Amino acid sequence: VRRAVRLAWRQQRLELLLLLGVAALVVVTALGIAWQTRVVRDEQLACYRETPTAEEGDSLSPCHAHDLKLDPLQAAAGVAKVGVIGVPILLAVFTGVPIVARELEGRTAHMTWSLSRSRLRWLVLRAAPPLAVVAVASVAVGVAGDVLTHAAPWVEGSDPGFEDWWSRGPQVAVRATAVFGVALAVGALLGRQLPAVLVTGGATLALFMAAFFVLDGWMQAAAEPVPIAPTTIVSGKIYGSGWRNDATGELLDDVEADLAGIWDEDDLNEEGMPRGYTMYFLMVPSHRYGEFVLRESALFASVAGLTIVTSAWIVGRRRPA
Amino acid sequence: VLASVAGVALLAAAMLWFAVQLRMLVAAEPGCPDPHAYVPGCEAFVQRFQGMSGWAQGLLYLSWGAPFGMGLVLGVPIVAREVEGRTAGMTWTLSRSRARWLAGRIAFAALVLVALLAIVVLASGQLAAAIVPNLQLERDFTWIGRRDWLIVARGLAALGIGALVGTLVGRQLPGLLAAGFASVLLFTGMSLAMDRWNETLAIITDPYATPDGFVDGSLGLGGAIELPSGELVPYAEITADEQYQDETGAIYTRWDEETGQADPDSFVGWDRVRIIPGQQYQVVLARDSGVTLGVGMVVIGGSLVAVVRRRPA
């Protein structure tokens, strides 16, 4: 195993150094922004506590100066989140593609495969070290993204729900593993590095778009009506809203409610809201975040498994040139 | 090359399709002259138009990214593939000179690149005109660099960076990665430098002089405060604590609780914006394209020097 790791390092040293450097930069930047955001936000909250008449966010507030510090931090956080999404994908593509493609392109596959006990064993020994690096680095990046999301001024220790779905948590690593599998398979299939990088880029885009639509479909199907009172604080992914007839429990969407005439002036209560009706959000509450992370991770893990098995099959069957 | 041709063909086809669809939408509603204005009776048309133009604008982002992607993908392997495949020694020996060999290869790649990016420029120009039919885009900074010849200049510069880095690194994938990072650094630096240069074309205007605070077609460079002395200072110098602005753009730093208005004694100055007028669009475009092309030529020259000096393996 040590020999396999050393060989993988020698062959992909430059890519790994560049990308791990960028990954480290993203982690350090994200953690630094999160730290500074908390520091400034704590100062701002202390300021609000000392001036109880001021309203938060009011431009006339004496604590407005802290907003001037928070705004650039939030802008920087946005850039760091792009890094959290992009760097694991780049790492996966640039380490996955050349494993087989370089040997085929350099016409060394024949010799390399002949010297191994089996092609499968060769592939496992060659792919495992970079895959481990991709997974570990992506977990680090994902965790840093999670810290960044939880440090946002509006979160304040509460549940961020489905916010920053693509740029936080260990699921970033599961996605990167799937991209690695795709890169490995495409590299083995095409046998040339640059075209394989381009095709993998397109395939990754298609994979993420498909995952987005599948996940959105799951969430829409799981959305449930949550009654809302004026003082209720809700967190989750909202797909729509409407009104519930309190007497019958019938749910009307906003258009149906309009047509049913619930806004007739005679039927409004003293707060100007429809009498006998309660507003509801059609939403997936944020406490179901973990469930959907697991579902999405299962999807990407399946893709990873399938593509890695396909790569093994291609390597076992294809001509070495 | 094939991937670039396929990509450009798809992109141009999609752009032209959207352009035709948007023009047909406008032509079908002669009573609604501006698809971006909510005029009574035109709501459904505006909603349909903006829904479609939202997707179409996504394509303009692709035309911004195309020159970088295509330039690097075509430029990096020119030397790197030969070095990596250990064929450089033979190829260079068979040529009259290495520089001549590289010049020929770069010329071919540049020709393909210019032809493909010219198609992107023409298609994105048509699309932009269809999205904003009421703007005079030849003197308007909207989507600069996504619909004009700056695309071609950037592509050639990216090709040069790709060729240089590919020559230095001598391997395709690490070369592509390193060239990507180098491009980000170089183009960011160039953009910052050009911003400073283009600021010489800026004028100061009163945002309260126009109904929506904008001057048509101009490029906004940010706000500033004009002091009674006529001096312009950045907001950051004044807003150490807080500031209040009235409906005429006058800026104060204290609030008078008794009168419920800003304290007149705390008057600082007037809100102003710095803009480059839309009439200067062609000048800025020529400057940006010229500098970008110049940088491209320099890096191509660098790759010629590098290929002469480097070992073939």
**In angstroms, rounded to a whole number, what is the distance separating the alpha carbons of residues A281 and A224?**
8
Q: Which contacts of A157-165 are long-range, i.e. CB under 8 A and separated by 24 or more positions?
A: A158/A235, A159/A235, A159/A286, A159/A287, A159/A289, A160/A235, A160/A286, A161/A235, A161/A236, A161/A237, A161/A285, A161/A286, A161/A289, A162/A236, A162/A237, A162/A284, A162/A286, A162/A289, A162/A292, A164/A81
The stretch A60-72 carries a mean pLDDT of 74
Nearest to B242 among A15, A60, A106 (CB): A60
The 10s digit of each residue's pLDDT in A52-62 is 564 544 444 56
Question: Which segments of chain B does DSSP mark as H helices, in order?
Answer: 2-27, 43-75, 77-84, 88-94, 98-131, 150-169, 172-198, 281-309
What is the predicted pLDDT for the residue at A240?
Answer: 87
| CB within 8 Å: B173 and A65 | no
**Greater model confidence, A143 or B142:** A143
* Chain A residues closer than 8 Å to B241 by CB: 62, 65
**In angstroms, rounded to a whole number, what is the distance separating the alpha carbons of residues B80 and A175?**
30
What is the predicted pLDDT for the residue at A51?
Answer: 73
What is the predicted pLDDT for the residue at A232?
Answer: 73
What is the predicted pLDDT for the residue at B199?
Answer: 86
The 10s digit of each residue's pLDDT in A272-290 is 888 888 889 999 988 899 9
| CB within 8 Å: B173 and A195 | no
What is the predicted pLDDT for the residue at A57?
Answer: 46
What is the predicted pLDDT for the residue at A50?
Answer: 79
What is the predicted pLDDT for the residue at A52?
Answer: 59
Q: Which of A28-32, A194-198, A265-269 has the lowest mean pLDDT?
A: A265-269
What is the predicted pLDDT for the residue at A62?
Answer: 65
How confident is the prediction for chain A on average, in pLDDT? 89
**Helices B43-75 and B2-27, axial angle in degrees (round to 10):** 170
The 10s digit of each residue's pLDDT in A286-307 is 889 999 999 999 999 999 999 9
B242 reaches A (C-beta below 8 A): yes
Residues 6+ apart with CB under 8 A from B226: B204, B232, B269, B270, B271, B272
Give buried/exposed letters for B139-158 (b at 16+ CB in 10 A, else e): ebbbbbbbbbbbbbbbbbbb
Closest CA to A303 of A208, A221, A164, A195: A208
- A137, pLDDT greater than 70: yes
Closest CA to B71 of B40, B42, B114: B114
* Chain B residues closer than 8 Å to A198 by CB: 3, 73
What is the predicted pLDDT for the residue at B116?
Answer: 94
What is the predicted pLDDT for the residue at B183?
Answer: 94
Cα dihedral sign for A309, A311, A316, A317?
A: positive
Distance from CA of B135 to the nearest CA of A (A): 30
- A320, pLDDT greater than 90: no
* Chain B residues closer than 8 Å to A102 by CB: 173
What is the predicted pLDDT for the residue at A59?
Answer: 46
| Identity of the highest mean pLDDT range in A3-7, A140-144, A152-156, A229-233 | A140-144
ipTM: 0.73
B76 reaches A (C-beta below 8 A): yes
Per-residue pLDDT of chain B (313 residues; tens, 9 = 90+): 888 888 889 999 999 999 999 999 888 888 777 787 777 778 788 888 888 888 888 899 999 999 999 999 999 999 999 998 888 888 888 888 999 999 999 999 999 999 999 999 999 999 999 998 888 888 888 888 889 999 999 999 999 999 999 999 988 999 999 999 999 999 999 999 998 898 888 888 887 776 555 567 888 888 888 888 888 887 766 654 567 777 778 888 777 778 878 888 888 888 888 888 888 889 999 999 999 999 999 999 999 999 988 888 7
Nearest to B85 among A106, A197, A198 (CB): A106
At residue A228 the predicted structure's pLDDT band, cuts being 50, 70 and 90, is confident
Nearest to A60 among B169, B181, B255 (CB): B255
Distance from CA of B253 to the nearest CA of A (A): 10
B239 reaches A (C-beta below 8 A): yes
